[in-house]
Amino acid sequence: MSQEIPYKIYLSEDEIPTAWYNLRADMKKKPAPLLNPATLKPLTAEELSVVFCRDLVEQELDDTTRFIAIPDEIRNFYKMYRPSPVVRAYCLEKMLGTPAEIYYKFEGNNTSGSHKLNSAIAQAYYAKKQGLKGVTTETGAGQWGTALSMASAYFGLDCRVYMVKCSYEQKPFRREVMRTYGASITPSPSNTTEIGRKILAEFPGTTGSLGCAISEAVEVATHTEGYRYVLGSVLNQVLLHQSVIGLEAKAALDKYGVKPDIIIGCAGGGSNLGGLIAPFMGEKLRGENDYRFIAVEPASCPSFTRGKYAYDFCDTGKICPLAKMYTLGNGFIPSASHAGGLRFHGMTTTLSELYAQGMMEAVAVEQTSVFEAATQFARVEGILPAPESSHAIRVAIDEALKCKETGEKKKILFGLTGTGYFDLVAYEKFNNGEMGDYIPTDEDIKKGWATMPNVDL
């Protein structure tokens, strides 16, 4: 294949995948099931259906069907912003002087600003299909809330977002995007829920937490006729929907005969990375091809590199199911960091199991070095990356520089999950030289572990 590779490899709309790929189907040892925290038994479809939509529960529990058809209604929405391009980073390669070839799958060219829309539209569709009136969710940094607001507007669903109070106050623009899409935004904790009132009474000045916002959103969903709760990462169903990223990336690279040697993605809850690597990891699991996979996490919240592989609660409030995952403990408090999307204490069960099996690597990076990479990238490649995505850029640059030393022409693919237009406070700190690195001490990590339940399975 000596065809010249363009800057951007676009697929046509009929090349948008017609089915999501369910990576779990190719795993011999499956990810451990979610447990009911009361019974410590695997959650049943019935139990899950109180909180989630029916079809999504089915997807959540299905670890054997390899391909699950994407309904036309979702594919039509995908057509408004997909296929997203695989970009050959010619300018970055030149600037680094590396013999490596660098590619990135860019998911930021939509108004939600990230890959989150891929799952939001699917979850909204199934809610609509079930005849629901609306959905509830929580949002921290705001990308997920924005994506769900857009998806809900499209299907005419009511959308109620519980936004961590400090984000609500510090990110008024994120809030306004969601309002423009017709969502109602409540700063959490709030007086609208029992758990919110309880927390407010106990901690009157609290600025909230993701754990608390989850609890409020779940309470509203389960106590309001015609509503369900939806979540933007961690769950199996979300990884399933995000497989469009990897399927498109693979199809685009295949066109030019490019087989990546290394595939890199940032990892918070793990959904974008899980989606990006899915079809490649499938080949590796089936023994058809080999790839190196690198999960990049912030040094401030290093669940893979410093966490334990054990059952833990998915939320701080301990009302959500138990998941077996690499976790820092549900009570772990991440050090200050501007990558709001990477502050979850655990990691999705699928990636956790694959990491435990030695199928992928993980590395933790510090935020100043991440913003250095982000700025380098922005200046030559044009795109202003989200802090989260810039974790992947950091490691892609590091790997490309290693190639420069060794002279190897490795092919590097990374996921550029989103744009940083709503993260300029962080860029300002970096531009002013006021950004620091905050890494949890061993003591902090131990404190986090102490909050984990004692479930030995």
User: How big is the chain by its Cα radius of gyration, in Å?
Assistant: 21
Among 379, 409, 436, 446, binds a copy of itself (CB under 8 A): 379
In the structure encoding, which two tokens stand for residue 230, read together?
A: 């939806």
Q: Which H helix or E strand runs over 45?
A: helix 45-49
Q: Is 142 helix (H, G, I), strand (E, B) or coil?
A: coil
Q: In what helix (H) or strand (E) does residue 395 lie, and over which residues does it extend?
A: helix 387-406
| SS3 state of residue 419 | strand
Contact window for a copy of itself (CB under 8 A) among 200-208, 265-273, 359-367, 426-434: 426-434
Cα–Cα separations (whole angstroms), residue 234 to 213, 268, 271, 328? 16, 9, 6, 15
Using rule CB under 8 A, residue 428 touches a copy of itself: yes
How many residues bind to a copy of itself according to rule CB under 8 A?
A: 44
The nearest distance, CB 21 to a copy of itself, in angstroms, is 23
Amino acid at 130: Q
Using alpha carbons, select from 198, 235, 349, 365 the residue that is nearest to residue 298.
Answer: 365
In contact, 237 and 145? CB cutoff 8 Å: no
Piece in contact with a copy of itself (CB under 8 A), picked from 282-290, 294-302, 374-382, 444-452? 374-382
What is the phi/psi pair of residue 35, to 5°? Answer: -110, 145
Interface residue with a copy of itself, options 55, 381, 388, 399 (CB under 8 A): 381
Query: Binding mask 25-64 vs a copy of itself (x if CB under 8 A, - otherwise)?
Result: ----------------------------------------
Terminal C-alpha separation, the chain: 50
Stretch that binds a copy of itself, among 32-40, 126-134, 224-232, 381-389 (CB under 8 A): 381-389
By CB under 8 A, is residue 446 in contact with a copy of itself?
no
Q: Kindly write out the interface string for residues 392-411 of this chain, putting x where it contacts a copy of itself by CB under 8 A and - elsewhere.
A: --------------------
Stretch of 10-18, 308-316, 388-396, 401-409 lying at the interface with a copy of itself (CB under 8 A): 10-18
Interface with a copy of itself (CB under 8 A), residue from 378, 439, 445, 455? 378
Distance CA 28, CA 286 (A): 10
Restricting to residues 92-111, which ones interact with a copy of itself according to CB under 8 A? 109-111
By C-alpha distance, which of 371, 311, 309, 363 is closest to 339? 371
- Site residues for a copy of itself, 108-147, by CB under 8 A, read 109-111, 113
Question: Rounded to the nearest 5 degrees, what angle is found at the Cα of 314, between the Cα atoms of 311 and 316?
Answer: 115
Stretch that binds a copy of itself, among 3-11, 361-369, 404-412, 447-455 (CB under 8 A): 3-11
Other beta carbons within 10 angstroms of residue 410's beta carbon come to 18
Nearest distance from C-beta of residue 90 to a copy of itself, angstroms: 8
* Least distance from a copy of itself to the Cβ atom of residue 334, Å: 24
Q: Per rule CB under 8 A, is residue 433 in the interface with a copy of itself?
A: no
Q: Specify the residue, 69 or 425, whose C-beta has the smaller distance to a copy of itself.
A: 425
Are 328 and 345 a contacting pair, CB within 8 Å? yes
Looking at the Cβ atoms of 87 and 452, the one nearer to a copy of itself is 87
Q: How far is the CB of 54 from a copy of itself (least distance, A)?
A: 26
Which of residues 267 and 384 has its CB atom nearest to a copy of itself in the complex? 384
Which ranges of 156-235 would DSSP assign to H, the alpha helix?
165-170, 172-180, 194-202, 210-223
| Residue labelled with tokens 């109070």 | 165
What residue has token string 């998806």?
151
Residue 150 in contact with a copy of itself, rule: CB under 8 A: yes
Binding test (CB under 8 A) with a copy of itself, winner from 419, 440, 449, 452 = 419
**Given the complex with a copy of itself, which of 103 and 355 has the nearer CB atom?**
103
x/- site string to a copy of itself, residues 164 to 203, per CB under 8 A? --------xx--xx-xxxx---------------------
91 binds a copy of itself (CB under 8 A): yes
Task: Give the Cβ contact number of residue 164 at 10 Å.
Answer: 26
Residue with tokens 């984000």: 167
Q: How far is the CB of 346 from a copy of itself (least distance, A)?
A: 31
Q: Are 367 and 339 in contact (CB under 8 A)?
A: yes
CA 342 vs. chain centroid, Å, equals 8
From residue 59 to residue 88, what is the string marking binding to a copy of itself with x (rule CB under 8 A)? -----------------xx-xxx-----x-
Instruction: Return phi, psi of residue 382, to 5°.
Output: 90, -40
Tokens matching residue 111:
């108004």
By CB under 8 A, name the binding residues for a copy of itself.
Answer: 6-8, 10, 12-13, 76-77, 79-81, 87, 91, 109-111, 113, 150, 153-154, 172-173, 176-177, 179-182, 375, 378-384, 419, 421-422, 424-425, 427-428, 431
